[in-house]
A = this chain, B = another copy of it.
């Protein structure tokens, strides 16, 4: 994660303790926290950090392409730090747990020109849904 801090500094990001804590909370694989969860964990390290700061910082990380925003359930958005390794998501319809997955082939290729309606198609987000082993 320190390479993330490096990249951010290199892009002229002003480094504050708040931003550092948010970036550190968002570390690891299969991490898909809501903004509120990020805030709760950040508070454990920096008690006075404000909710608005967490929202601002997450928004900036998304804009910089360092974090991917997910809305798998229509409720709180989730933030996925695994932005530099293209992947899709597998979600349990019952408990909501999320795994990063890697389908074969390029989902974009499955959309023929005639089905593009003149759009310039850039990405394809795939959400697989089913029951996880604990819920099955």
Contacts and interface: CB of A to CB of B under 8 A. Distances in A.
A38 B118 CA distance: 28
A130 B123 contact: yes
Interface string A53-86: 0000000000000000101011001000000000
Copies of this protein in the complex: 2
A117 B90 contact: yes
Given A74-B69, A74-B77, A129 B118 contact: no
A131 B118 CA distance: 9
A101 to B, nearest CB: 5
A133 interface: yes
Contact of A132 (B105, B117, B133): B117
A111 interface: yes
Given A77-B74, A111-B128, A90 B119 contact: yes
A1 interface: no
A29 interface: no
26 contacts: A69-B74, A71-B74, A74-B77, A90-B115, A90-B117, A93-B122, A99-B117, A101-B116, A101-B117, A102-B115, A104-B110, A104-B112, A105-B110, A107-B110, A108-B128, A118-B133, A119-B130, A119-B136, A122-B131, A123-B128, A124-B126, A124-B128, A125-B126, A125-B127, A126-B126, A127-B127
